[in-house]
Amino acid sequence: MESILATFGPLLVFVVLFYFLLIRPQQKRQKQVQQMQSDLNRGDKIITIGGCHGIIDAIDDKTIVIKTTDGSKITFDRSSVREVVSE
Protein backbone atom coordinates (compact mmCIF):
# COMPACT_ATOMS: atom_id res chain seq x y z
CA MET A 1 0.00 0.00 0.00
CA GLU A 2 2.76 2.43 0.90
CA SER A 3 4.65 1.68 -2.30
CA ILE A 4 1.60 2.57 -4.38
CA LEU A 5 1.29 5.89 -2.55
CA ALA A 6 5.00 6.54 -2.97
CA THR A 7 4.74 5.77 -6.68
CA PHE A 8 1.59 7.69 -7.57
CA GLY A 9 1.73 10.40 -4.87
CA PRO A 10 4.10 12.75 -6.72
CA LEU A 11 2.16 12.23 -9.96
CA LEU A 12 -1.09 13.10 -8.20
CA VAL A 13 0.45 16.22 -6.64
CA PHE A 14 1.76 17.25 -10.08
CA VAL A 15 -1.70 16.85 -11.67
CA VAL A 16 -3.36 18.89 -8.90
CA LEU A 17 -0.75 21.67 -9.19
CA PHE A 18 -1.09 21.64 -12.98
CA TYR A 19 -4.86 22.07 -12.65
CA PHE A 20 -4.72 24.96 -10.17
CA LEU A 21 -1.81 26.80 -11.81
CA LEU A 22 -2.70 26.44 -15.50
CA ILE A 23 -6.13 25.04 -16.31
CA ARG A 24 -8.32 26.83 -13.76
CA PRO A 25 -6.97 30.38 -14.39
CA GLN A 26 -7.35 29.86 -18.15
CA GLN A 27 -10.98 28.80 -17.69
CA LYS A 28 -11.65 31.91 -15.57
CA ARG A 29 -10.13 34.20 -18.23
CA GLN A 30 -12.15 32.48 -20.95
CA LYS A 31 -15.39 32.98 -18.99
CA GLN A 32 -14.57 36.68 -18.46
CA VAL A 33 -13.92 37.19 -22.18
CA GLN A 34 -17.14 35.40 -23.14
CA GLN A 35 -19.10 37.51 -20.64
CA MET A 36 -17.53 40.73 -21.96
CA GLN A 37 -18.34 39.74 -25.55
CA SER A 38 -21.94 38.87 -24.70
CA ASP A 39 -22.41 42.21 -22.88
CA LEU A 40 -21.40 44.34 -25.88
CA ASN A 41 -23.80 47.16 -26.71
CA ARG A 42 -24.17 49.73 -29.45
CA GLY A 43 -22.00 52.77 -28.68
CA ASP A 44 -19.32 50.89 -26.73
CA LYS A 45 -15.74 51.92 -27.49
CA ILE A 46 -13.75 48.77 -28.24
CA ILE A 47 -10.39 47.44 -29.39
CA THR A 48 -10.28 44.35 -31.59
CA ILE A 49 -7.71 41.56 -31.44
CA GLY A 50 -6.06 43.09 -34.50
CA GLY A 51 -5.74 46.48 -32.79
CA CYS A 52 -8.56 48.32 -34.57
CA HIS A 53 -10.12 51.01 -32.35
CA GLY A 54 -13.69 52.08 -32.89
CA ILE A 55 -17.25 52.42 -31.65
CA ILE A 56 -19.87 49.72 -32.13
CA ASP A 57 -22.38 50.99 -34.68
CA ALA A 58 -24.48 47.83 -35.12
CA ILE A 59 -24.52 44.45 -33.43
CA ASP A 60 -26.19 41.09 -33.94
CA ASP A 61 -25.64 37.52 -32.72
CA LYS A 62 -22.32 36.84 -34.46
CA THR A 63 -21.09 40.09 -35.98
CA ILE A 64 -20.55 43.71 -35.08
CA VAL A 65 -20.10 46.78 -37.24
CA ILE A 66 -17.42 49.16 -35.99
CA LYS A 67 -17.34 52.84 -36.90
CA THR A 68 -13.70 53.94 -36.97
CA THR A 69 -12.34 57.41 -36.29
CA ASP A 70 -12.28 58.29 -40.00
CA GLY A 71 -15.98 57.44 -40.34
CA SER A 72 -15.62 54.16 -42.21
CA LYS A 73 -17.54 51.09 -41.05
CA ILE A 74 -15.95 47.66 -40.74
CA THR A 75 -17.69 44.37 -39.97
CA PHE A 76 -16.02 41.99 -37.51
CA ASP A 77 -16.93 38.76 -35.79
CA ARG A 78 -18.13 39.38 -32.27
CA SER A 79 -15.36 37.10 -30.97
CA SER A 80 -12.69 39.44 -32.37
CA VAL A 81 -13.29 42.04 -29.63
CA ARG A 82 -10.36 42.09 -27.21
CA GLU A 83 -11.56 44.71 -24.75
CA VAL A 84 -14.10 47.42 -24.10
CA VAL A 85 -12.44 50.78 -23.47
CA SER A 86 -14.02 52.81 -20.70
CA GLU A 87 -12.97 56.42 -20.82
pTM: 0.72
The three-state secondary structure class of 6 is helix
**% of the chain with per-residue pLDDT over 70:** 98
Q: What is the pLDDT of residues 5-32, one digit of tens each?
A: 788 888 999 999 999 999 999 999 999 9
